[in-house]
Amino acid sequence: MTRIHELPAHRLAALVRSRELSPVEIAEHYLQRIRRLDDRYGAYITVTEELALEQARNAQKRAMSDTPEDLPPLLGVPLPIKDLDTVAGVLVTFGSRAFPDLVAPTDSAVVAQLRDAGAVFLGKTNTPEFGATCHTENAVAPPTRNPWDTSRSPGGSSGGAAAAVAAGLAPVAQGSDGGGSIRIPASVCGLFGLKPTRGRISLGPDRADLNGLSTAGPITRSVLDAALMLDAMAVNLPGDLFTAPPLPPGETFADHARREPGQLRLARYSDTGSTGIPVHPDVLAAHEETTRLLLELGHEVEEIDNPFESAFGGAFAEDFPYLWAAIASATPVDPAREGELTPIYRWLRERARQTTVPDHVGAVARLQRGTRAMLTATERFDAVLSPTLARPPVPIGHFTSGGPEEEFRLMTEFTPFTSIYNVTGQPSVSVPLHWSPSGLPIGSMLTGRMGGEGTLLSLSAQLERARPWAHRVPGGWTD
């Protein structure tokens, strides 16, 4: 008999709408699993049991009283919120000891969207301090562990979100991505992760857009679940610096996930340019297998040189850290609590303080010129294929044993493919098509044109039908 946590979110929503499954029963099932299993994984910083049950009871009343067509799309579907976004009345730590007892007064824009869509909030998922690293180890909670191998990292910064979905402690999760923070944990946890187009989802009301690197997005087991979440999360608010081109009237992202993509023209690359960062043989094997599958499905695939190497003149690795440090420096921290920050975050803030305004502006200008060149060079392709990461999942502690400068270098070597698309603003997904010979997930990354989430969702759904992955679950799934 199928258990509740084995059902995708779109199926849960349908069962609630048809009154075959109670939102309270769904919420209680997940809360019980969290209580019983999360000590293994450390996916959650805060579990909002009372809030979840209250929302579930309200959802049940609506399901019983309203007609199905009047019900919101995610009614009764439980999900967690990454602990960088605020939920009104709930503790928010930002993964930092500098904020030990802050209760959020309001929802963030994306949380408000999910609340309006009928979602039930299970809690807040673990994240590195202010989302600054590609692993999920901080000073406020035990490290989050990869459900496929608990000695390994689930990636970051949405590591808690991915661990929750991979372990069956949530059907889907909200994450955010400023340098790969959705796609990285999706890759190493065997999930589908979508970074939307810049401006698709507002960062309001409190977070600044800055250079537009970061966006919220879904982490899910199925492509359709990600599309349904994106439909619910997408919003622009007054004062947003960036907005994405809307879908045509009457269309939804879920529509795209349900349709065939047609024959597409795709590019591919797997080298890391002048950085010389090596790509693991298992990753390269996965890249070749994804290429073969795309060809079998009838798509054109053309090998190209590393596109950001030529567009950015080999300077991307030198210029991007200016933006990353600037974001860290913009976080308001009580000076009396600066010493409580993690070494990597103090290092980033100090690096920003030592950067002159002309140096920062020059880096931003070079990155924008590179973005223009790269988008122009790849415009003829419907999507670009590359590895998501340079390596399979790494052990917990891999990044943190040698000091902050060494940590930043190791993060760069692990994630040489993801952050470029935060700079360009393009939509990008990690698709869980492969597992290494030792049984560890390896994602493949597909990146589309600006506003091209629909094409990526159609293509990813086609890949999912051709090589289903939802049946592949880690060992603790059946507990």
Whether the CA torsion 237, 352, 183, 455 is positive or negative: it is positive
428 among known catalytic residues: no
Residue type, 349: R
Amino acid letter, residue 13: A
Give every CB contact of residue 424 below 8 A, 6+ residues apart in sequence. Answer: 371, 374, 375
Question: Which residue among the candidates 176, 181, 187, 202 is catalytic per the annotation?
Answer: 181
Q: What is the DSSP annotation of 66-88?
A: S-GGGS-TTTT-EEEEETTS--T
Full strand arrangement of the beta sheet holding 172-177: 172-177, 215-220, 192-195, 428-435, 441-448, 383-387, 265-268, 300-303
Query: Which of 82, 108, 195, 430 is labelled catalytic?
Result: 82
Contact call for residues 127 and 83 (beta carbons, < 8 A):
yes
Catalytic residue check, 181: yes
Q: Is 436 a catalytic residue?
A: no
Residue 152 — φ and ψ, nearest 5°? -115, 160
First to last CA, the chain: 15
Task: Quickly count helices (H) and strands (E) in the chain.
Answer: 16, 11
Burial of 395 (0-12, 13-18, 19+ CB in 10 A): exposed
Q: Are 375 and 260 in contact (CB under 8 A)?
A: no
Catalytic residue (choose from 22, 157, 187, 222): 157
Report the candidate in 293, 286, 288 with the shortest Cα–Cα distance to residue 434: 286
d(CA 422, CA 12): 32
Which residues are catalytic, by number? 82, 157, 181
